[in-house]
């Protein structure tokens, strides 16, 4: 199996036998992000076991999520779904009093065709707490796409803006006809229409991005999701929206089609190059001239010099499990690394169009061929390719990390990229800190010898 090198961008598709987290894992970061929410995962012991193991110690901090564990009576419809859910939700209301309950549908609710969407409005009316349904199941989605389904569901609950842009313009013209002292302010207001960013980020990363845009005198009018459910941003005709993460294609679609928003298709603010391109795109759409962006990017690169020396010329293999892969690969190419393969669970070429274009440009700029993108990868084929290519770094899930390390391949656990702060200029160093950690560790242990720690007669020893 030799590795093809492409001049143009191609996306291959394999068998889909790969390892990733179940999308219900989005509960772990979303319940922390949306402070007044409660997530109820309607599923089986398997879902619960996954959450409890994947989230480690977080479970002990009185989490605002729980399983509605289906028992045999629920599966065989001996019990009434509606009554059961009502009982649990009333208990949750009593114990935690959340502003919103989010039901996460799982594989099992899909298979037994439990009508969560149908029951939610009725129960919402009955118990007086908003209930939102997101079908984040492993039949349809992978890992971070779970957040996508939740945000798409929440988007429906965002209030309409009080004035649409058209009305606003009319008001403005009316006002201009009069001799108003507020004229100046109003001009500025129309020049900068409402901009809502979507994607769940830790609050300090969100405020960093807000600040970056503020420097370009662009005001961010809200985030989806906000820190509290009760603070959801207004969305509607004429509101501009822009994504901060590459896995939010359903949310983007919902915002365009259902909420009539204008989507700014930009690369994602991951790495200084991505952040600059993201800001530039927003500015160009909103008709603002950027100021000092180039110097700022330059300065950030300058401050990364020690790490860049370490990664330059090293090769990377993305096995693919969280959809951040294209943005990360683009950044790493710009850092001087060589990417052998970008595995990715799902590739939305429309939503990621600007990111893919930036990837192509970056490859051209750095004079490297465009790496192959493999959608729905096959892990056992990938392991064979890794054996053949011997990359300096494999970015992979925990299922493969230790076995690869034992065979002398440095690995970085991909899930860390989802939990670490990697967006914006200020976090570029944190991102490289993650990527270089295995390389630095390797350097420290260099003189120890014995990098391959499996017996020769072992299967797959390579």
Partner 1 sequence: MKLAYWMYAGPAHIGTLRVASSFKNVHAIMHAPLGDDYFNVMRSMLERERDFTAATASIVDRHVLARGSQERVVDNILRKDKEERPDLIILTPTCTSSILQEDLQNFVYRASIISDSNVIFADVDHYQVNEIQAADKTMEQVVRYYLDKCYRQEKLNQFLTDAPSVNIIGIFTLGFHNQHDCRELRRLLRDLDIEINQIIPEGGSVKDLKNLPKAWFNLIPYREVGLMTAMYLNKEYGMPYISTAPMGAVDMAEWVRQIHKNVNTLALSLSSKRVDYEHYIDGQTRFVSQAAWFSRSIDCQNLTGKETVVFGDATHAASITKILAREMGIRVSCAGTYCKHDAEWFKEQIQCFCDEILITDDHAEVGDMIAHVEPSAIFGTQMERHIGKRLDIPCGVISAPVHIQNFSLGYRPFLGYEGANQIADLVYNSFALGMEDHLIDIFGGHDTREVITKSLSTDLGLIWNPESRLELSKIPRFVREKVKKNVEKLARQKGIETITVEVMYAAKEAFNT
For residues 125-137, one letter each, b for 16 or more C-beta atoms within 10 angstroms of the residue's C-beta and e for the rest, the string is eeeebbbbbbbbb
User: Judged by CB under 8 A, does residue 10 bind partner 1?
Assistant: no
Query: What is the rounded distance in angstroms from the CA atom of residue 238 to the CA atom of residue 242?
Result: 13
User: Judged by CB under 8 A, does residue 166 bind partner 1?
Assistant: no
Contact (Cβ atoms closer than 8 angstroms) between residue 274 and residue 330? yes
Cα-based angle 13, 436, 2 (whole degrees, multiple of 5): 35
Binding piece for partner 1, criterion CB under 8 A, among 67-75, 123-131, 153-161, 182-190: 67-75
Q: How crowded is residue 354: how many other Cβ atoms within 10 Å of its Cβ?
A: 17
Sheet strands (E) in 320-437: 338-344, 372-375, 393-396, 411-413
**x/- contact string, 188-227, with partner 1 (CB under 8 A)?**
---------------xx--xx--x----------------
Sheet strands (E) in 127-216: 131-135, 195-198
Residues in region 365-384 near partner 1 by CB under 8 A: 379-380, 383
Which of 3, 6, 49, 353 is the binder for partner 1 (CB under 8 A)?
A: 49
Residues in region 285-324 near partner 1 by CB under 8 A: 299-300, 303
Q: Under rule CB under 8 A, how many of the chain's residues touch partner 1?
A: 79
User: Judged by CB under 8 A, does residue 459 bind partner 1?
Assistant: yes
Contact (Cβ atoms closer than 8 angstroms) between residue 205 and residue 427? yes
Query: What is the rounded distance in angstroms from the CA atom of residue 100 to the CA atom of residue 98?
Result: 5
Binding-site residue ranges for [4Fe-4S] cluster: 22, 47, 107
**x/- contact string, 12-31, with partner 1 (CB under 8 A)?**
----xxxxxxxxx-------
Closest separation in Å from C-beta 212 to partner 1:
9
Residues in region 382-401 near partner 1 by CB under 8 A: 383, 397-401
Closest separation in Å from C-beta 352 to partner 1:
20
User: Which one, 70 or 218, has the nearer CB to partner 1?
Assistant: 70
Binding piece for partner 1, criterion CB under 8 A, among 10-18, 119-127, 286-294, 350-358: 10-18
Query: Beta strand pairing status for 315-318 and 393-396?
Result: parallel
Burial class (CB within 10 angstroms; exposed 0-12, middle 13-18, buried 19+) of 317:
buried
User: Judged by CB under 8 A, does residue 45 bind partner 1?
Assistant: yes
Binding-site residue ranges: 22, 47, 107
Residues in region 93-132 near partner 1 by CB under 8 A: 107-108, 110-112
Sheet strands (E) in 297-421: 315-318, 338-344, 372-375, 393-396, 411-413
User: Which one, 63 or 336, has the nearer CB to partner 1?
Assistant: 63
Residues in region 331-370 near partner 1 by CB under 8 A: none
User: Judged by CB under 8 A, does residue 46 bind partner 1?
Assistant: yes
């Amino acid at each position: 199996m030799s590795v093809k090198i492409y001049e143009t961008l191609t996306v291959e598709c394999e068998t889909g036998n790969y390892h990733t987290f179940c999308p219900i894992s989005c509960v772990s970061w979303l319940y922390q992000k949306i402070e007044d929410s409660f997530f109820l995962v309607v599923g089986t012991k398997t879902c619960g076991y996954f959450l409890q193991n994947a989230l480690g110690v977080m479970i002990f901090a009185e989490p605002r999520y729980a399983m509605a564990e289906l028992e045999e009576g629920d599966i065989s419809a001996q019990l009434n779904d509606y009554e059961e859910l009502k009982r649990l939700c009333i208990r949750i209301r009593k114990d935690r009093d959340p502003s919103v309950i989010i039901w996460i549908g799982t594989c099992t609710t899909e298979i037994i065709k439990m009508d969560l969407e149908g029951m939610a409005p009725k129960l919402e009316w009955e118990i007086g707490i908003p209930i939102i349904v997101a079908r984040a199941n492993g039949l349809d989605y992978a890992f971070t796409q779970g957040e996508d389904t939740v945000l798409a569901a929440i988007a429906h609950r965002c209030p309409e803006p009080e004035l649409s842009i058209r009305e606003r313009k009319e008001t403005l013209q009316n006002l201009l006809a009069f001799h108003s002292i507020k004229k100046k302010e109003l001009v500025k207001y129309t020049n900068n229409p409402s901009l809502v960013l979507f994607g769940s980020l830790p609050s300090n990363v969100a405020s960093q991005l807000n600040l970056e845009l503020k420097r370009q005198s662009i005001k961010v009018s809200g985030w989806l999701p906000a820190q509290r459910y009760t603070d959801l941003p207004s969305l509607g005709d004429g509101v501009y929206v822009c994504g901060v993460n590459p896995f939010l294609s359903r949310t983007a679609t919902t915002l365009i089609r259902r909420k009539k928003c204008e989507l700014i298709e930009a690369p994602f603010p991951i790495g200084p190059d991505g952040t600059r391109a993201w800001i530039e795109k927003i500015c160009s759409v909103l008709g603002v001239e950027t100021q000092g962006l180039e110097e700022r990017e330059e300065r950030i690169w300058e401050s990364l010099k020690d790490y860049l020396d370490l990664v330059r010329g090293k090769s990377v293999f993305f096995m693919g499990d969280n959809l951040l892969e294209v943005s990360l690969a683009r950044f790493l190419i710009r850092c001087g690394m060589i990417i052998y393969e970008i595995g990715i669970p799902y590739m939305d070429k429309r939503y990621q169009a600007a990111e893919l274009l930036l990837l192509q440009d970056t490859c051209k700029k750095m004079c490297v061929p465009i790496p192959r993108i493999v959608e729905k990868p096959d892990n056992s084929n990938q392991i064979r390719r890794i054996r053949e290519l011997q990359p300096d770094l494999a970015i992979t899930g925990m299922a493969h990390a230790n076995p690869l390390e034992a065979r002398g391949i440095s690995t970085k656990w991909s899930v860390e990229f989802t939990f670490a702060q990697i967006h914006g200029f200020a976090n570029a160093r944190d991102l490289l800190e993650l990527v270089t950690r295995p390389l630095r560790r390797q350097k420290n242990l260099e003189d120890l010898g014995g990098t391959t720690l499996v017996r020769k007669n072992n299967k797959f020893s390579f």
